[in-house]
Amino acid sequence: MTHLFSSAGARLALVEQEDSSADQILFGKNNNHGQCYSQCTARRIAKNKEENGVSEKEAEALGEKSPSEKEASAADYSNFILTYDEAPGYLKFNPYIRSGYRGFLTTKMCIESIFWWTNETVNIWSHIFGWMLFLGLTLYDLILLNIHASALDKLIVGLLLLCFQACMILSSAYHTFSCKSEKAYSCFLTYDLCGIALSILAIYMSGVYYAFWCYSEWQQFYLLTVCLIFALAMALQYPAFQVDSHTKMLVFVGWAAYGVVPTIHWVIMMGGWQNPIVVLLLPRVLGMYAIVSLAFAIYITRIPERFVPGWVDYVGSSHQWWHVIIVGAFYYWHNTGIKYVEYRMNHGCANDLRF
């Protein structure tokens, strides 16, 4: 994990170095990004010509502005919104989303674009609101909620919600800055995957901690295994390994599927449906798997845009549904954890033994 953050930090430094030449990148002088700028400029010239009734030369003078003026005029952000065909190649991973792209913006304009209406707006704001939700739950659970739990129990809940917040923030950052450059895209994608890994780790650690609360040896064993898989998932993000995105995704899917093992073990140890805690919590665990599976299926199949290309570019695309469902899944798991804590506070370990 240390290697991951060292690498990510180095890549972020490279991204920051790009800011000094951001105008050159954005405005397409002597580089391969010129086409994006030319398209935006041509669109701006045509718009000036149409609205102001001026000559081609005068329209070009109106369309061509200094870099500072161009950023200042970004309020008319429609000039910077691209179609799929105009978008940078590294952003063209979903051919069913036909419009609403941004391309090669400066850092300042990336931040401003949070308030633009693009095909990333819902992705950005869904997880900004998600971060606000889990921040509020953190304050409520640790300060206001009157549960007489131990300090370690509160630490587990706090870490769970902190990881959820990190996932939300890193996801929003990725969708905000991915349009800056290909290097920025790669860098922030690494951070996004790190946030996903942290959230999976937090879900596992909280589940294993409470499920095997009365069986410390098994608790330690499963905590160790999930941490090792987490370390593997993080190591695969290290650029030197040159692991393709498909393999990275398979590791995450395998990691999620691994949760079936401790779940079945826990059910057997608890004596199956004869134990009230199994009746209470197993349906919620299965519900969590169902919710996440639904989100993943929508994400992979690219439904609904696969059937209506261009119709859900701004609202209703598969990635947006993925975001919303994941926020719901995290909230659902948080409530499951609260139910488990309440049960433990009232019953302890005595009712768990069903051998």
Binding-site residues sit at: 175, 319, 323
Residue 203, CB-side half-sphere exposure with 13 Å CA sphere: 27
Annotated binding-site ranges for Zn(2+) = 175, 319, 323
How far is residue 325's CA from residue 338's CA, in Å, rounded to a whole number? 20
Q: How many whole angstroms separate alpha carbon 91 and alpha carbon 81? A: 13
Distance of alpha carbon 311 from alpha carbon 309, whole angstroms = 6
Q: What is the largest CA-CA distance in the chain?
A: 89
DSSP summary character for residue 116: S
Cα(284)–Cα(331) distance, integer angstroms: 12
Q: String of b and e for 283-307 (b: at least 16 CB within 10 Å)?
A: eebeebeebbeebbebbeebbbbee
What is the CA angle 311-316-318, rounded to 5? 100
Query: Is the distance from CB of 101 to CB of 109 less than 8 angstroms?
Result: no
To 5 degrees, how large is the angle CA 1–CA 219–CA 283? 100
Report the C-alpha gap between 141 and 150 in whole angstroms.
13
Measured CA to CA in angstroms, residue 332 lies from 171, 191, 288, 289, 339 at distances of 19, 24, 7, 11, 11
Q: In Å, how far are 123, 188, 199, 272 from 108, measured between CA atoms? A: 19, 16, 29, 56
Q: Collapsing DSSP states into helix, strand and coil, what is residue 82?
A: strand
Q: How many CB atoms lie within 10 A of CB 9?
A: 10
- The count of residues in the chain is 355
